[in-house]
Structure 1
Amino acid sequence: MSGGGAVITKRLGIIGGLGPLATVYFYELVTKMTDAAVDQEHLEMIILSKPSIPDRTEYILGRSMKNPAIPIIEAGKTLVSLGVDCIAIPCITAHYFHDILANGIEVPIIHIIQETAKHLKEHGIRCAGIMATEGTIYSNIFQVELEEQGINTVIPSGEKQDYVTDLIYRNVKASRPVEMELFHQVSEELRTKGAQVIILGCTELSLIKRDYSIGAGYLDAMEVLAMNSILLCDGKLKNEYKSLIT
């Protein structure tokens, strides 16, 4: 469709491939959540997909010496050279390196974890459960940001964290059917521990929300990233996405 429309002055850069399916879905989310009547009212985006970037969790847990921050910064610099005004990284564990990345890349990087914590506070949440990679849980990056907003956190037991790892790596990343019984068992444990809302704190878990009925009481951090990408780039957000808690 052709026609006029508002000119979007800011261009979004996306460091993708972490993993590839999550990047595809993030692009879809930004497009779907934008209030646009014509093509010209959508965001300009440049996606640089680098699945070769080493696994973030393996590095954080000391099981790999390959530092993923180095190629992420290289990707960011490439996007800056192409004229982006800000950067989104649809990989939550990568935000463990946020300060290092921010020092190495010359445009703002949207902090998905900080924005998720703010969204929960704005909606009066006092206790949140976290479903995420081992690296994200171990590094406490969600716990710190949530506690700064006055929100208590609960995390899975060791057994249930293994379930989350299976869901992320052996189901979604491996393009295999999702074992939803594992998902529901983790959710039940977190709610028993007091979670009012459960954060889907890994972009692979976002794909489970997309493809399966998971019910109420969840917040998809990748939707938070998409929302903030639209707003930071001066796009218009559809009204139905102003509250993202299911």
Structure 2
Amino acid sequence: MLGVLGGMGPLATADFLAKLVRATPARRDQDHIPTLICSAADIPNRASAILGRGPDPLPAMRAALARLETAGATRIAIPCNTAHHWHAALQAGTALPILHIVDAVADDLDASGLAGGPIGLLASAGTLRVGLYPERLARHGFTGLSPDPDGQDAVVAAIDLVKAGRVAEAALILEAQARALVAAGCRRVVMACTEIPVALSALDDELAGVMVDATESLARACVAACRADAAALPLVA
């Protein structure tokens, strides 16, 4: 039973669930992954906490995780990049395996045939501040490149626009920043905030071909892990 620690934000969680369904090879309802969702929208803002501008979200995330565990989840996904700053602390408090979104992205980059090099990062200020992506991507030979300061301010503003439901406005900003990273030499650009793929759902083929959707990477990793779990279960006579 997959447990989704969501609500960060709610629209991004809904996007993850849709991608989870689409990533599942299924011919009928029963082939899909049993899923429990906790859309804990009351969890304090993760980026604000990292930047010293808001309360610690860890207690609320731990409470949501406990609700999923009590309800019967056996594996956890968190469709929020910045929340993975607390991945180790959350994992230390549960025996349930918690998938890591950056590892899922790195696996997809490896599978694409890239042999290292610069990877563009469109992410929250908090995700960049804690070095969430560069540290793990480096294990696979990749380096992370983020927008210049003005560009990063624009990305943060666009993320806020998505949370406010102003998706079309956000898309224009984010597409411009993605193109700037490609022009700077990035062979792939990771949408490293789960609000960003919501805005960039319709791109021309050229740009779409270099974008990596962290939400989709996490969904695929969940499908692979849950199917492996199911295959390992003993047959019931």
- After TM superposition, the score normalised by the length of structure 2 is 0.90
Report the count of equivalent residues: 224
SS across alignment from 1:222: helix
CA distance in 1, matches of 2:95, 2:60: 15
Which deviates more from structure 2 when the two are superposed, residues 194-203 or residues 30-39? Answer: 30-39
SS across alignment from 1:84: coil
SS across alignment from 1:156: coil
Q: One-letter code of the match for 1:22?
A: A
Offset at residue 159 of structure 1 (A): 0.3
The answer as to 2:183 corresponding to 1:183 is no
Contact kept, 8 Å, 2:167 with 2:198, in 1: the verdict is no
Q: 1:177 to 1:227 in 2, by over 3 A?
A: closer
Which deviates more from structure 2 when the two are superposed, residues 213-222 or residues 36-45? Answer: 213-222
CA distance in 2, matches of 1:198, 1:42: 30
CA RMSD across the alignment: 1.6
CA distance in 2, matches of 1:44, 1:201: 26
SS across alignment from 2:79: coil
More helix per residue: 1 or 2? 2
Contact kept, 8 Å, 2:174 with 2:200, in 1: the verdict is no
Equivalent in 144, 155, 174 of residue 153 of structure 1 = 144
The answer as to 2:211 corresponding to 1:221 is no
Q: Tell me which residue corresponds to 2:196.
A: 205
Equivalent in 38, 61, 67 of residue 56 of structure 2 = 67
Contact kept, 8 Å, 1:23 with 1:90, in 2: the verdict is yes
Offset at residue 193 of structure 1 (A): 2.1
Offset at residue 212 of structure 1 (A): 5.2
Offset at residue 185 of structure 1 (A): 2.2
Segments of 4+ in structure 1 off by > 3 A?
Answer: 211-214
Q: One-letter code of the match for 1:48?
A: C
Equivalent in 89, 93, 107 of residue 82 of structure 2 = 93
Q: Residue deviations 1:39-67, cap 9 Å, x none?
A: 11111000011100000000001112x11
CA distance in 1, matches of 2:219, 2:126: 22
SS across alignment from 2:27: coil
CA distance in 1, matches of 2:65, 2:51: 24
Q: 1:208 to 1:181 in 2, by over 3 A?
A: closer
Equivalent in 24, 32, 35 of residue 34 of structure 1 = 24
CA distance in 2, matches of 1:174, 1:184: 18
CA distance in 2, matches of 1:21, 1:184: 19
Contact kept, 8 Å, 2:174 with 2:196, in 1: the verdict is no
Which deviates more from structure 2 when the two are superposed, residues 171-180 or residues 136-145? Answer: 171-180
Equivalent in 12, 22, 45 of residue 12 of structure 2 = 22
Unaligned runs of 5+ in 2: 229-237
Offset at residue 211 of structure 1 (A): 5.0
> Structure 1 vs Structure 2: percent identity of aligned residues?
33
Q: Tell me which residue corresponds to 2:71.
A: 82
Equivalent in 178, 182, 193 of residue 184 of structure 2 = 193
Offset at residue 198 of structure 1 (A): 0.1
CA distance in 1, matches of 2:190, 2:36: 27
Contact kept, 8 Å, 1:154 with 1:194, in 2: the verdict is no
Offset at residue 73 of structure 1 (A): 1.1
